């Protein structure tokens, strides 16, 4: 029988064995590491997937108009740093407040919204706003959410991303409305046939009583076959009268008026309008100098002859002193023609007028000039600030002398159908001109424009935004009542504050007036952080508030919550035998120091009806906050910020006059008051003798 050797392993065998063990251990660790990194990568991908999906679904829940379009200045959005700006309407993704932590990893959420158009081959292409025609159908938007996060592997950190995209059309939004299309033409005076508008003519389609639908007719194409078309989107179900009107275009009604749009109507084409033959006419005559001789253009450095119809062009004279003004539109009223000549040799200004020309026009409206020692004129145009061209009729204008702060005799006017008015016979000098009309707001806040009036003043253009109003209420959530202090409320359009107001203390109601017509307005409230905190919305801001012209957007409501701090201390009482810590129930009541009536005065058996009443109004006028003390002889009471409080402690016990078991005892009630205690104060201790009541 052979015995097994008890000889140990050699050094070489130990080294070899150690090598294999280390190899197997390293492989296992690497395997485990790779498994872990794979699990982590999968988790982070799931987190980013869920986060992107959540944000995309949130965006899709928005009203179409509330989906704020990414500014052109941030496009293209690659690199994503282009979107990391405070001007991003969806917030700066790099702002620490906007970075979301998922699984301990910071994730940035980038949101992009662009208008989109469908091509002839069915492809959908996102567009910059500058690439969209002003009359394009902006009823489709691309929504994209990109989530990025850092991932470290083998000491190398890379940025990973998850990307989701969707499209939403306006018809998918609630009450998307109907789209109507058609063409506007004018009946020719001589042939009677309908002709398209001239190149760059200014013509608009109106829906009577609904100014928000006003649309300019497309006259930008040099080919007349493509001019005169229009589109109006998002018309709500109802019955409407549609008409067209513009410079040189009398009002023309749609032949099928009234047009009825039902809830099932998505698109109605062929709403064509032919305006009647124009009532334009011609005024002609001769211009004579002060000596009665026909005026020749030679020798004059500048000549202007114009009618005050607001539409016709300024003309001059021929060599025989004759003038002719065509396309005069009087709207049935009489016309004044003004002539102003500046003589080159003497630097003198000559002026003349022909008044009360009938609206039929004609020849021989002759004007004799006189030296104008104190004459100036200026034409003022009121236009829509959105397209910089649409006229605003009915704008009330005023011209104020800057030196005397007075209005000259002819310093008042109203813009005509073409949005213009000419101030005549104004003494030359420095003036300020302004306009005012309900539901129109000056572009830059200050309605006044400075102008130096001369005989040949350059035209002045005033731009205004159409406006509407925003209203709502602010409620304190704990009391479900309006806050007892006024709250400042502001409205912003395109990042600029355009309106501000304060709430009504009694009702919590606010009304912001003259807010720009837009689907992207912001309403913000401002609270005193020492008294209130924001509740809903949590940042005190409502975005995407839609405002329509001459209408009030209601129910833009906020809730706030009182800001509270604690007052605390201990409770002791001295019955003549030294202070004793009270670890039994003590009622603590805090009320504003301004209320000088003690809480125990209010009782159902009080002789005064005033102090028996406990209605909501009185509770609001005299608020109080109560709690029971702790069993360790201390108290902590939470009170709203903004005022100091008187703190009352109430304690009652049965006191006996003898040790006789038949002695039923007497109920004794005591209270103690601490005056004018600030919220947040500690060590507000009750001690010493208390007052019976």
Q: What's the confidence (pLDDT) of residue 675?
A: 95
- Give the residue-averaged pLDDT of 179-184: 91
Q: Which residue has the higher pLDDT, 612 or 481?
A: 481
Give the integer Cα–Cα distance in Å for 115 and 132: 8
Pairing of strands 203-207, 215-216: antiparallel
Q: Which of 464, 465, 511 is nearest to 491 (CA)?
A: 511
Cβ–Cβ < 8 Å for 323, 287: yes
Cα 188 to chain centroid distance, Å, stands at 45
Distance, CA of 443 to CA of 436 (rounded, Å): 12
Unique residue bearing structure tokens 């000491």: 155
Tell me the DSSP string of 458-494: PPEEEEEEEEEEEEEEEEETTTTB--SS--EEEEEET
- The pLDDT, as a whole number, for residue 378 is 86
Pairwise CA distance, residues 500 & 510, whole Å: 10
pLDDT band at 496 (very low <50, low <70, confident <90, very high): confident
> For 537-565, what is the mean pLDDT?
91
Q: How confident is the model at residue 139 (pLDDT cuts 50, 70, 90)?
A: confident
Q: CA-based angle 101:107:112, to the nearest 5?
A: 135
Average pLDDT, the chain: 82
| pLDDT for position 596 | 85
Q: Which class for 568: exposed (0-12), middle (13-18), buried (19 or more C-beta within 10 A)?
A: middle
665, 656 contact by CB (below 8 A) = yes
Q: Say yes or no to pLDDT of 37 above 80.
A: no
Residue-wise DSSP of 188-219: -TTT--EEPPPTT--EEEEETT-GGG-EE-B-
Q: Any idea which of 25-29, 265-269, 279-283 has the lowest mean pLDDT?
A: 25-29
- Higher pLDDT, residue 190 or 225: 225
More confident residue, 130 or 432: 432
Of all residues in the chain, the percent with pLDDT exceeding 90 is: 29
Instruction: Determine which of 110-119, 385-394, 495-504 has the lowest per-residue pLDDT on average.
Output: 385-394
Query: Tokens 């004759």 belong to which residue?
Result: 322
- Band the pLDDT of 61: cuts 50, 70, 90: low
Note the pLDDT of residue 547.
92
CB atoms under 10 Å from CB of 323, counted, come to 21
What distance lies between CA 157 and its chain's CA centroid? 42
- Per residue in 572-599, pLDDT tens? 999 888 888 998 889 999 999 988 888 8
Burial 409-424 (b: 16+ CB within 10 A, else e): eebebebbbbbbbbbb
Q: Rounded CA gap, 659 and 430, in Å?
A: 102
State the DSSP string of 624-664: -EEEEPPTTSEEEEEEESSS-EEEEEEEEEEE-SSS-TT--
Q: Are 201 and 327 in contact (CB under 8 A)?
A: no
pLDDT band at 26 (very low <50, low <70, confident <90, very high): low
* Best CA proximity match to 302, nearest among 341, 331, 329, 275: 341
pLDDT score recorded for residue 436: 92
Q: What is the pLDDT of residues 303-347, one digit of tens each?
A: 888 887 656 667 888 888 999 887 776 555 678 888 888 876 777
Task: Give the chain's domains with CATH numbers.
Answer: 30-172 (no CATH), 178-275 (2.60.40.1120), 283-464 (2.60.40.10), 465-562 (2.60.40.10), 564-692 (2.60.40)
Residue 260 has what pLDDT? 92
Please tell me the distance from the alpha carbon of residue 463 to that of residue 516, in angstroms, as a whole number: 13
Q: Is the pLDDT of residue 35 over 80?
A: no
Tens digit of pLDDT for each residue in 353-377? 888 888 777 888 998 887 776 778 8
186 confidence band (pLDDT: 50, 70, 90): confident
- What is the arithmetic mean of pLDDT over 289-298? 86
Could you report the per-residue pLDDT of 599-625, keeping only the tens digit for each?
Answer: 888 777 777 776 666 555 566 666 788
pLDDT value for 281: 79
pLDDT at position 102, please? 72
Beta bridge partners of 593: none
* pLDDT, mean of residues 544-554: 92
The per-residue pLDDT for range 386-403, each reduced to its tens digit, is: 777 788 889 999 999 999
- 582 touches 651 (CB < 8 A): yes
Q: Mean pLDDT throughout 138-154? A: 86
Which range (11-25, 50-64, 149-163) has the least confidence? 11-25
Contact 380, 310 (CB under 8 A): no
pLDDT in tens, 622-680: 678 888 888 889 999 988 887 899 999 999 988 888 888 888 888 999 999 999 999 98
Residue 617, pLDDT score: 54
Mean pLDDT to the nearest integer, 500-506: 90
Local structure of 299: helix, strand or coil: coil
Band the pLDDT of 251: cuts 50, 70, 90.
confident
Range name among 36-40, 99-103, 311-315, 630-634 with the lowest pLDDT average = 36-40
Contacts of 610 (CB under 8 A, 6+ apart): none
pLDDT at 147 over 90: yes
Asked if residue 550 has pLDDT above 80, the reply is yes
171 pLDDT more than 50: no
Backbone torsion region of residue 538, taken as left when φ is above 0, otherwise alpha when ψ lies between -120 and 50, otherwise beta: alpha
């Amino acid at each position: 029988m052979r015995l097994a050797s008890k000889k140990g392993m050699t050094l070489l065998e130990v080294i070899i064995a150690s090598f294999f063990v280390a190899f197997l251990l390293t492989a296992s660790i690497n395997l485990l590491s790779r498994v872990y990194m794979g699990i982590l990568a999968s988790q982070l991908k799931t987190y980013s997937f869920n986060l992107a999906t959540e944000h995309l679904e949130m965006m899709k829940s928005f009203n179409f108009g509330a989906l704020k379009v990414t500014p052109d200045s941030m496009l293209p959005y690659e690199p994503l740093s282009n979107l990391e700006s405070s001007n991003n309407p969806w917030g700066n993704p790099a702002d620490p407040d906007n970075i979301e932590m998922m699984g301990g990893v910071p994730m940035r959420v980038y949101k992009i919204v662009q208008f989109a158009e469908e091509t002839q081959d069915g492809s959908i292409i996102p567009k910059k706003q500058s690439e969209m025609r002003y009359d394009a159908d902006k009823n489709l938007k691309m929504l994209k959410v990109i989530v990025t996060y850092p991932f470290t592997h083998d000491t190398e950190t890379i940025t990973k991303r998850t990307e989701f995209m969707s499209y939403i059309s306006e018809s998918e939004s609630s009450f998307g409305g109907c789209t109507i299309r058609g063409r506007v033409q004018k009946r020719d005076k001589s042939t009677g046939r309908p002709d398209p508008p001239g190149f760059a003519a200014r013509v608009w389609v109106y829906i009577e009583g609904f100014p928000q639908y006003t649309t300019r007719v497309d006259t930008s194409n040099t080919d007349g076959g493509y001019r005169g078309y229009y589109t109006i989107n998002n018309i709500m179900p109802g019955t409407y009268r549609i008409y067209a009107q513009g410079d040189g275009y009398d009002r023309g009604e749609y032949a099928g008026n009234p047009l009825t749009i039902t809830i099932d109507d998505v698109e109605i084409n062929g709403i064509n309008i032919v305006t009647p033959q124009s009532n334009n006419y011609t005024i002609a005559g001769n211009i004579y100098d002060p000596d009665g001789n026909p005026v020749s253009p030679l020798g004059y450095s500048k000549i202007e002859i114009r009618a005050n119809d607001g539409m016709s062009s300024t003309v001059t004279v021929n060599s025989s002193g004759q003038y002719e003004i065509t396309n005069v539109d009087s709207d049935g009223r009489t016309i004044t023609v003004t002539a102003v000549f500046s003589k080159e040799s003497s630097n003198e200004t000559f002026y003349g007028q022909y008044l009360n020309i009938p609206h039929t026009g004609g020849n021989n409206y002759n004007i004799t000039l006189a030296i104008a020692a104190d004459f100036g004129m200026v034409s003022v145009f009121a236009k829509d600030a959105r397209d910089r061209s649409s006229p605003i009729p009915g704008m009330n204008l005023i011209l104020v002398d800057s030196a005397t702060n007075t209005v000259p005799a002819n310093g008042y006017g109203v813009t005509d159908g073409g949005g213009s008015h000419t101030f005549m016979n104004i003494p030359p000098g420095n003036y300020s001109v302004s306009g005012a009309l309900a539901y129109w707001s000056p572009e830059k806040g200050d309605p006044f424009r400075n102008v130096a009036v001369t005989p040949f003043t350059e035209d002045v253009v005033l731009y205004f935004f159409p406006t509407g109003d925003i209203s709502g209420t602010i409620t304190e959530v704990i009391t479900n009542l309006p806050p007892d202090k006024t709250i400042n409320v502001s409205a912003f359009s395109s990042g600029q504050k355009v309106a501000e107001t304060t709430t009504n203390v009694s009702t919590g109601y606010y009304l912001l007036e003259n807010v720009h017509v837009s689907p992207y307005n912001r309403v913000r409230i401002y609270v005193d952080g020492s008294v209130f905190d924001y509740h809903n919305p949590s940042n005190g801001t409502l975005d995407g508030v839609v405002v329509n012209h001459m209408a009030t957007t209601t129910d833009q409501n906020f809730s706030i919550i009182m800001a509270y701090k604690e007052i605390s201390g201990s409770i002791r009482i001295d019955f003549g035998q030294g202070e004793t810590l009270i670890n039994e129930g003590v009622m603590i009541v805090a009320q504003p120091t301004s209320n000088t009536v003690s809480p125990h005065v209010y009782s159902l058996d009080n002789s005064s009806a005033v102090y028996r009443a406990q209605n909501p109004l009185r509770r609001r006028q005299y608020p109080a906050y109560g709690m029971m003390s702790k069993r360790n002889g201390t108290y902590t009471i939470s009170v709203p910020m903004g005022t100091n409080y008187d703190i009352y402690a109430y304690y009652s016990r049965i006191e006996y006059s003898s040790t006789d078991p038949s002695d039923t005892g007497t109920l004794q009630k005591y209270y103690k008051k601490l005056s004018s205690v600030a919220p947040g104060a500690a060590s507000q201790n009750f001690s010493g003798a208390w007052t019976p009541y």
